[in-house]
Structure 1
């Protein structure tokens, strides 16, 4: 059986969440270790991919009366913020602010007139997530992430000749989020993270939509 990116990520995140939940049982049965509960804040830089976005943007332009063929660039590097509460060494909850960097678009317009258009597609969202954490030693741990994200997406295009209308639309949708990552404790208060996250759908029919795969590198500060 051939595994796709999404099925591998689902397997990794499910495994990490399950392992974290299993390890959390004895932690809950005994008194929590010192500093096992804490609040943390963090930030990250993100690189994203939105496969299949071009065809979906064509659908959004068609709803505006434009027949088009659209090619897309790679979303620009973006950033995000995290506010988390670690209940015990194996379980944490996070609120997040995430962004999909601006993606350049080039559309060849066939109707109602021959034209070309350029523009951008971008999104930002707020999420709620649960993390299942499996410590490997005093410094390294792996974790799985599952949650929901509320996205706000915008599509803007401009005609090259003025013979077809410009388009500017926005939309909001809710997406599922699955991820898996690794954390390294630089000090008792600071750790570095690297993770893969997949959002199953970002955008609407009016803006164009796509699943988004995102790689995040971040730092977190724990208020122990």
Structure 2
């Protein structure tokens, strides 16, 4: 991913926290409401092959290569119901993954484009405190993803494809949190989404996210 895209992703995090903090505090000023944000490294396994399968269903024979990872921001708004249970609303983004395709049919051509997506989720966290600083947690939830695939000829040929789709995915993850202060946690987490995208429209792939972030608790 290009440096300016990474910088742009980082810039979204403080903006989201600033916007979410007043809403969280107003919702429950006396409870353990928290907001969080960070960066995620996303890996879409076998994305190029999934794109080839989608193009084949549209009558386009292709051999595609390109990115399968990207670095992006994520945001959370959560409420810790008890020491062992929390619920979260999340925003996740998979930035543009660049693709290049060699087209053999219906006419020989080369094309380039991108695959990208963003999602809104609702998750339940089961928490196991280890001591007054460290805790482990598991995540189970659903995420509504919107994905898009766009390809166009590199040389003014006839190849042109653009499609988008919205789809719901299961989310399963595990992570650890460290209490930096009474109000601030640092987190590291791995989350798997079982399928993101549509096989007939944009290409369906499993997505793994490794997240590093901070959470602020309004206690």
1:29 corresponds to:
none
- The residue that corresponds to 1:179 in the other structure is 173
2:217 counterpart of 1:212: no
Q: Report the number of matched residues.
A: 190
How far residue 56 of structure 1 moved from its aligned partner, in angstroms, is 1.4
For the 8 Å contact 1:132–1:144, the answer to whether it is kept is yes
CA distance in 2, matches of 1:141, 1:61: 45
Q: Distance in 1 between the 2:165 and 2:206 partners?
A: 15
CA radius of gyration, larger in:
1
SS of the residue 2:69 aligns to: coil
**Paired residue for 1:46, among 40, 45, 53?**
40
Pairwise CA distance, 1:134: 0.4
Deviations 1:60-108 (A, max 9, x none): 2223331101113133210111000000111000000001121111111
Structure 2 equivalent of residue 221 of structure 1? 216
Residues in 2 aligned to 1:96 and 1:189: alpha-carbon distance in whole angstroms: 20
Deviations 1:160-212 (A, max 9, x none): 12222311110011000000000000100000000000000000020011001
Q: Is the 8 A contact 1:94 1:128 kept in 2?
A: yes
Quote the Cα distance in structure 2 between the aligned partners of 1:71 and 1:209: 16
TM superposition shift of 1:109: 0.3
Q: Please report the RMSD computed on the Cα atoms of aligned residues, expressed in angstroms.
A: 1.5
> Is the aligned partner of 1:197 residue 2:178?
no
My pick for the range that moved more, 63-72 or 206-215, is 63-72
Larger RCO (alpha carbons 8 Å, 6+ apart): 1
- The SS at the match of 2:132 is coil
109, 112, 128: which one pairs with 1:115?
A: 109
Q: 1:67-216 to 2 correspondence within 5 Å?
A: 67-205=61-199, 206-216=201-211
Alpha-carbon deviations, 1:125-169, whole Å to 9, x = none? 000000000001111000000000000001011111222231111
TM-score (norm. length: structure 1):
0.82
**Which is further off, 44-53 or 156-165?**
156-165
Check 1:211–1:48 CA distance in 2 against 1; reply closer, same or farther (3 A cut): same
Gap regions ≥5 residues in structure 2: 1-29
- Stretches of structure 1 that go unaligned for 5 or more consecutive residues are 1-35
For residues 110 and 101 of structure 2, what CA distance do their matches in structure 1 show? 6
1:61 partner SS: helix
Structure 1 runs (4+) deviating above 6 angstroms are none
